[in-house]
Amino acid sequence: VKYLNAYTGTVLLRCRKDFYRLVCSALPFVRHLESRAQRYPCSLNTLHVGGTIRTCQKFLIQYNRRQLLMLLQNCTNEEERRCIQKSLLSCSLTEEQSQSGDEEDDDGIE
């Protein structure tokens, strides 16, 4: 696991390119995750398969932006609208994230 966001339910997995099909086919069968003797129900689906962590980060930014735009269209009051607009404006790849993505070699699939 290279990235985990519990609020959005997003996980970025890294594996060798030889095994990405195996990982993608196994993900739908994961029903629970365990941590400290607690079981958490979950459902995993593949959103994107990329060659580098940086391309996966770019995809996640665009994906989150699209999700926020969908939420913006369904806003019920002005306060919600302002919060979502603020979140939309903050969707970008920061310098710290881009440096960690540059370290990756191109033989892995994210």
Contact 50, 42 (CB under 8 A): no
pLDDT tens-digit map of 67-96: 888 888 888 888 888 887 787 777 665 554
Q: Which two tokens stand for residue 43?
A: 């459902």
What was the pLDDT predicted at 87? Answer: 77
The whole-model pTM stands at: 0.65
H helix or E strand, kind and range, residue 40: strand 38-41
Q: What are phi and psi of 61, to 5 degrees?
A: -65, -50
pLDDT tens-digit map of 44-56: 888 999 999 999 9
Q: Which two tokens stand for residue 5?
A: 């966001």
Q: Is the pLDDT of residue 106 over 50?
A: no
Three-state secondary-structure class, residue 14: coil
H helix or E strand, kind and range, residue 34: strand 32-35
